[in-house]
Amino acid sequence: MPQVEMDKVEPLLEQYEDQRLNLIPILQDVQETYRYLPELVLRRISKKLRVPLTEVYQVATFYRCFSLVPRGKHVIQVCLGTACHVRGAPRVLDRILRDLKLPHAGTTEDLQFTVETVRCIGCCGLAPVARVDNTNTHPHLTQAKVGGLLKKYQEKAEAPKAAKPDEASHAKA
């Protein structure tokens, strides 16, 4: 278990009333703060909201936006929906994975990037697309454009280096 700064949790929990309907907003905040949902934090939330841990875990594993293992600083979602697929998304994905030296979709060692695949993000006219950090959509991708795309975020990501937590203890079975 990496050192989770539990002191960040308390002020976060203060903002919400202790009601079960606040579970998802709280988890979203935690995900944003830590870039994943640490186990200790989930246990704390369960105690505070008086929601069984099983239920917290159920919600945390149900939604794609939550992760139990640390995610990278930038999340690249490559669309593999029908339109993107026929317009060459698999090749774009291959290129991204190769450039980041990932064997398959996942998080890079230095915790800078997480690559995910999604099914249609609703802008098939721009196929093939990838979305970074849920806001920046990159249209009409080709293998040639991948390098530039990664570079854009790599440069930004340079300055603050996140400490590398011990991933093994968090790996989901």
Partner 1 sequence: MPTLKINGIEVEVEKGMTVLEAARFLGIPIPTLCHEDALQPYGACRLCLVEVSNGRKTTLQASCCLPADDGLVVFTHSARVERARKLLLEMYVATCPSSKRIQDMASAMGLRECRYEAKHETCIQCGLCVRMCEQQMMAGAIGFSGRGVNRSVTRPFDMTSELCRQCGACLFICPVCESRCQGPQAESTLCNGCLNISTVCFQSYDNAMCFLEPCHACEIGGPFRADVGVKPRSKDLTHIVGK
Interface residues with ligand FES (CB under 6 A) are: 79, 81-84, 120-124, 127, 129
Q: Which stretch binds partner 1 (CB under 8 A): 26-34, 60-68, 111-119, 133-141?
A: 60-68
Helix/strand/coil for 136: strand
- For residue 21, the partner it binds in partner 1, ligand FES, none, with Cβ less than 5 to 8 A by kind, is none
Of the candidates 79, 61, 149, which has an alpha carbon nearest to the alpha carbon of residue 113?
149
Please report where in the chains the tokens 């907003």 appear, as a residue.
Answer: 25
β-pairing, 130-132 vs 74-79, is antiparallel
CB atoms within 10 A of CB 21: 9
Binding residues for partner 1, rule CB under 8 A, total 14
Closest to partner 1 by CB, 101 or 104: 104
Considering only residues 9 to 48 of the shown chain, the ones binding partner 1 according to CB under 8 A are 39, 42
Lookup: tokens for 29: 């905040």
Among 7, 54, 125, 163, binds partner 1 (CB under 8 A): 54
